[in-house]
């Protein structure tokens, strides 16, 4: 293979990989809640890939036209229909949405980890003073594992900015056991609760430290807000969330079914900040 042909093929291949990541993964995540923007981005990526392969497409067209001109026209229409179907299937199919949420978002979350984890860890340490007044309690459930640091990319800096800009007293609680989390959630001064970590709709997971079942907290004093920013699987089986158990009748919540990752949480926190945390029906993820 001539060097220039080899070089060009590698250049085109890398360009297609970059375009695919940018237009089919990263940009759709950034505009996740904006459906029209997502469709425009997906189609733009497809058009750019076609431009990268323009010579190959012309070669295919020439081949089809040599066989039968009608076949050439029909072939390109068929390719367009199939491409459109793939985009719409990806966009509306629940299986692909779940893959997008818990798989691809996790990959993008690596960038968030690099950017935010270390500074957020220091930020959390700065805001652990004992408070004897009503306040916002941010529960961080740690499992004493190598990947515990990943949780610090979740958007704690966004919460701190929100609390400080509105003069809301707050504290971070780093918890290693169910008893610790239960104590802080049960505290009457913890009027609003944000929970981060690993779990299911009805529980919070501390790894070898055990599992906190939210049903054990059903008699706790009712709260003004509850946000479960951990995975909330098994919601379809009717298990109660913490919000189902101890949220005031006029309280606000953010509890979304399914898997979660730090990048999703950052997007959700940004959205909920704008909605003053009356956001469960407005911020999709």
- DSSP letters spanning the chain: --HHHHHHHHHHHHHHHHHHHIIIIIHHHHTTT-HHHHHHHHHHHHHHHHHHTHHHHHHHHHHHHHH-HHHHHHHHHHHHHHHHHHHHHHHH-HHHHHHIIIIIHHHHHHHHHHHHHHHHHHHHHHT-----S-EEEEEEE--SSGGGGGGGGSSHHHHHHHHHHTT--EEEEEESSHHHHHHHHH-TTEEEEEEESEEETTEEE-GGG-EEEGGGGTTSPPEEEEEEES-BTTGGGTPPPHHHHHEEEEEEEEE-SB---HHHHHHHHHHHHHTTT--TTT---
Q: Which residue has the tokens 């989390």?
A: 181
Q: What is d(CA 125, CA 154) in angstroms, rounded to the nearest whole number?
A: 15
The reported pTM is 0.69
Per-residue pLDDT of the chain (285 residues; tens, 9 = 90+): 443 444 456 777 787 788 777 777 777 766 655 666 777 777 788 778 777 777 776 777 677 667 666 666 666 666 776 776 666 666 555 555 555 555 566 666 677 888 898 999 999 999 998 889 999 999 999 987 766 788 999 999 999 999 999 999 999 999 999 999 999 999 999 999 999 999 999 999 998 899 999 999 999 999 999 999 998 877 556 789 999 999 999 999 999 987 788 888 998 999 999 999 999 988 865
């Amino acid at each position: 293979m001539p060097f220039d042909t080899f070089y060009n093929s590698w250049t085109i291949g890398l360009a297609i990989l970059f375009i695919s990541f940018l237009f089919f993964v990263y940009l759709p995540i950034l505009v996740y809640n904006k459906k029209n923007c997502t469709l425009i981005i997906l189609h733009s990526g497809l058009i750019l890939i076609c431009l990268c392969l323009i010579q190959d497409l012309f070669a295919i067209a020439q081949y089809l036209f040599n066989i039968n001109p009608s076949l050439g026209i029909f072939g390109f229409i068929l390719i367009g229909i199939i491409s459109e179907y793939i985009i719409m299937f990806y966009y509306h199919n629940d299986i692909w949405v779940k893959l997008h949420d818990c798989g691809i978002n996790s990959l993008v979350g690596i960038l968030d980890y690099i950017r935010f984890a270390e500074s957020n860890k220091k930020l959390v340490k700065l805001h652990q003073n004992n408070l004897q007044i009503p306040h916002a309690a941010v529960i961080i459930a740690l499992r004493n594992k190598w990947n515990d640091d990943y949780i610090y990319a979740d958007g704690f800096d966004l919460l701190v900015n929100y609390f400080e800009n509105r003069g809301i007293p707050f504290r971070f609680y780093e918890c290693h056991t169910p008893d610790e989390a239960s104590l802080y959630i049960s505290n009457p001064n913890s009027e609003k609760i944000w929970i981060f970590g690993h779990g299911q709709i009805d529980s919070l997971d501390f790894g070898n430290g055990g599992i906190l079942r939210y049903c054990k907290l059903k008699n706790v004093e009712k709260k003004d807000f509850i946000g479960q920013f951990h995975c909330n699987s098994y919601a379809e089986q009717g298990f109660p969330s913490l919000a189902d158990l101890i949220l005031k009748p006029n309280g606000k919540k953010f509890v979304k079914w399914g898997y979660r990752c730090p990048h999703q949480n950052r997007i959700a926190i940004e959205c909920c900040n704008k909605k003053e945390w009356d956001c469960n029906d407005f911020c999709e993820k």
